[in-house]
Structure 1
Amino acid sequence: MQTLPLTAPSVRLRLPPPPGGGGSLSSRARSVIGALAIAASAPLLLGAADPPAWTRPQAPFPIAGPISYVGSEGIAAYLIKTSAGAILIDGTLAQNAGMIERNIAKAGVRPRDVKLILVTHAHFDHAAGVAALKRATGARVVAGIRDVRALETGTPPGETNYGVIRFPKVHVDRGIRDGETVTLGTTTLTARATPGHTPGCTTWTMRIPAKPRPLDVVFPCSVSVAGNRLLGNRAYPCIVADYRRSIAMLGTLHADIVLPSHPELADVIARGKRRQAGDTTAFVDPTLLPKIVAKAKVAFDADLAKQAR
Structure 2
Amino acid sequence: MTRSAGPVRARRAAGELLEVAPGVFCVRTPLANWYLLRAGRDLTLVDAGYPGQAGLLLSSIARLGHEPRDVRAVLVTHAHVDHVGGLPDLLRAAPGLPVLLDPVEVAHARRERVEQVGTATVLRHAWRPRVAAWAVRAVRCGGTAHVRVRRAAAFPAPSRGGALDVPGGPVPVPTPGHTSGHSAFLLPEHGIVLTGDALVTGHPLSAERGPQLLEGFFHHDPAGTVASLDVLAALPADVVAPGHGEPWRGPLDRAVARARRS
Q: Is TM-score (shorter-chain normalized) higher than 0.5?
A: yes
Other-structure match for 2:184:
203
3-state SS of the aligned residue for 2:25? Answer: strand
Residue of structure 2 equivalent to 1:162: 122
| Aligned twin of 2:50 | 93
Q: State the 1:136 CA deviation.
A: 2.0
What letter corresponds to residue 109 of structure 2 in structure 1?
L
Task: Kindly provide the CA deviation profile for residues 41-80 of structure 1, in whole angstroms up to 9, marking residues without a partner as x.
Answer: xxxxxxxxxxxxxxx9723232211111234344211111
Of the two, which has the highest radius of gyration?
1
Partner of residue 152, structure 1 = 110
Residues 1:262 and 2:244 aligned together = yes
CA displacement at 1:103 relative to structure 2: 1.3
- Contact preservation (8 Å) 2:18, 2:28: no
The one-character-per-residue Cα deviations of 1:2-59 (angstroms, maximum 9, x if unpaired) are: xxxxxxxxxxxxxxxxxxxxxxxxxxxxxxxxxxxxxxxxxxxxxxxxxxxxxx9723
Output the CA distance in 2 between the equivalents of 1:192 and 1:168: 24
Question: How many correspondences in the alignment?
Answer: 211
Query: How many angstroms does 1:135 deviate by?
Result: 2.2
> TM (normalized to structure 2)?
0.69
Instruction: Tell me the equivalent position of 1:58.
Output: 15
Is the CA contact (8 Å cut-off) linking 2:178 and 2:222 kept in structure 1? no
Provide the rounded CA distance (Å) in 2 between the counterparts of 1:103 and 1:243: 30
* In 2: Cα distance, 1:137 partner to 1:57 partner: 26
* Structure 2 residues without counterparts, runs of 5 or longer: 1-12, 124-142, 199-212
After superposition, give the CA deviation of every residue in 1:181-228 in whole Å (9 maximum; x if it has no partner): 32125x4111011011111111001133xxxxxx31100132335343
1:290 is matched with which residue?
A: 253
Match of 1:222 among 176, 180, 197: 197
Tell me: CA distance 1:158–1:167, structure 2 relative to 1, closer, same or farther (3 Å). Answer: closer
Selected match of 2:26 from 69, 81, 90:
69
Q: What SS does the aligned partner of 2:188 have? A: strand
1:253 aligns with 2:217: no
Q: Any unmatched runs of 5+ in structure 1?
A: 1-55, 209-214, 231-235, 268-284, 300-309
Give runs of aligned pairs for residues 95-174 of structure 1, distance below 5 A: 95-138=52-95, 139-153=97-111, 156-157=114-115, 161-162=121-122, 165-174=144-153
**Match of 1:82?**
39
Superposition TM-score, scaled by structure 1 size: 0.60
- Looking at structure 1, the residues matched to 214 and 112 of structure 2 have their Cα atoms a distance apart, in angstroms, of 21
CA RMSD of aligned residues (A): 3.0
Q: SS where residue 102 of structure 1 aligns? A: helix
Identity of aligned residues (%): 25
Higher relative contact order (CA 8 A, sep 6+): 2
In 1, are the aligned partners of 2:157 and 2:164 still within 8 Å (CA)? Answer: no
